[in-house]
């Protein structure tokens, strides 16, 4: 059986101790025993961005090639500032479309094909109108997508978030003009908090097939949850220390139907240290051997 494609969120900055920008991202990922990684292309909470020609793109691509890793499995996470589901504020929606376009162009320039996007929030608007605003926003940026796929992330239902049910994504995929440019990212913590019983993974897989379709799942965020099912909280927990549990997450990771779909960890640091090397080791060895917490 194949090994899964497993990595984590890593830094992408000039000050990364593993090297500058994408060189550092690659080396940090490799130090965790990973075979993929996810980055922000710049700070997730603001619009400041380093020019592409300073990111060491060619060097990173060469490192990937020399280590027999596929750049098609790398992921960029779009900044949190983007809200193209906002149906009540035109300026916010316009800003979201503009910023998302810039992120797409950065992905194209880096050669990274998967761009994860939080669908956004309806704020005080109608939920259906928010989904329609999301469709309109995705249509507005599609012309800039040559190789980049936007993977809409499943959300927990915190506040006025949209995209908490697979049927929401099925609706969006049925309405966008270029559905080949839109996909789905399954976040296990978010799905659990939204009410999906991941311990019955076979039933969840069946719902995936009946709504968005298996082929639309382009990546996973593999996280445990600090809260019970249907809490609508969105508080990630380290693998095996939360309400989803190690065995359920292990089953999802090693599922043969999704073995070729990249999965990345977004679990919290413990004592200011990243847990990813230990978590990846445990998951690949199918045993909760190394302890993250006392």
pLDDT band for position 150 (cuts 50, 70, 90): very high
Q: Find how far residue 4's CA is from the centre of its chain.
A: 16
Predicted pLDDT at 294 = 72
Residue-wise pLDDT tens digits, 176-226: 999 999 999 999 999 999 999 999 999 999 999 999 999 999 999 999 999
Residue-wise pLDDT tens digits, 90-121: 999 999 999 999 999 999 999 999 999 999 99
pLDDT band for position 240 (cuts 50, 70, 90): very high
Cα dihedral across residues 148, 211, 239, 121: positive or negative: positive
Average pLDDT over residues 236-262: 98
Answer whether residue 23 shows pLDDT above 90. Answer: yes
pLDDT band for position 293 (cuts 50, 70, 90): confident
| Domain annotation for the chain: domains and CATH numbers | 6-285 (3.20.20.150)
Average pLDDT over residues 246-261: 98
The answer to the question of whether 9 is labelled as a binding residue is: no
Answer whether residue 278 shows pLDDT above 90. Answer: yes
The answer to the question of whether 132 is labelled as a binding residue is: no
The answer to the question of whether 279 is labelled as a binding residue is: no
The answer to the question of whether 77 is labelled as a binding residue is: yes
The answer to the question of whether 56 is labelled as a binding residue is: no
The answer to the question of whether 144 is labelled as a binding residue is: no
Q: Tell me the CA distances in angstroms from 215 to 45, 46, 95, 173, 202, one per residue in order.
A: 31, 33, 31, 12, 16
The answer to the question of whether 118 is labelled as a binding residue is: yes
Counting beta carbons within 10 angstroms of the beta carbon of residue 64, is it exposed (0 to 12), middle (13 to 18) or buried (19 or more)? buried
The answer to the question of whether 178 is labelled as a binding residue is: no
The answer to the question of whether 153 is labelled as a binding residue is: yes
Answer whether residue 11 shows pLDDT above 90. Answer: yes
């Amino acid at each position: 059986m194949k090994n899964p494609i497993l990595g984590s969120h890593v830094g992408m900055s000039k000050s990364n101790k593993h090297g500058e920008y994408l060189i550092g991202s690659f080396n940090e990922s490799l130090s965790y025993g990973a075979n993929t990684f996810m980055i922000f292309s710049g700070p997730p909470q603001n619009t400041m961005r380093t020019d592409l020609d300073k990111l060491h793109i060619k060097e990173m691509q060469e490192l990937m090639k020399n280590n027999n890793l596929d750049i098609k499995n790398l992921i960029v996470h779009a900044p949190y500032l983007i809200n193209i589901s906002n149906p009540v504020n035109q300026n916010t929606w316009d800003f979201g479309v503009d910023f998302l376009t810039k992120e797409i162009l950065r992905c194209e320039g880096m050669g990274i094909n998967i761009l994860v996007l939080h669908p956004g929030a309806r704020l005080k608007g109608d939920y259906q109108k928010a989904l329609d605003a999301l469709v309109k926003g995705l249509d507005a940026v599609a012309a800039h997508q040559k190789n980049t796929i936007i993977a809409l992330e499943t959300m927990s239902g915190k506040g006025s978030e949209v995209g908490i049910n697979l049927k929401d994504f099925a609706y969006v995929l049925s309405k966008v003009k270029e559905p080949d440019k839109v996909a789905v990212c399954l976040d296990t913590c978010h799905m659990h908090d939204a009410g999906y019983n991941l311990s019955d993974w076979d039933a969840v897989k069946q719902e995936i097939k009946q709504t968005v379709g298996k082929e639309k799942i382009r990546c996973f965020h593999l996280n445990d949850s600090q809260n019970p099912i249907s809490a609508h909280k969105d508080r990630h927990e380290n693998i095996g220390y939360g309400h989803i549990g190690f065995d359920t997450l292990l089953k999802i990771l090693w599922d043969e139907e999704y073995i070729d779909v990249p999965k990345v960890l977004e679990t919290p640091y413990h004592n200011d240290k990243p847990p990813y090397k230990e978590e990846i080791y445990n998951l690949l060895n199918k045993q909760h051997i190394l302890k993250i917490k006392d």
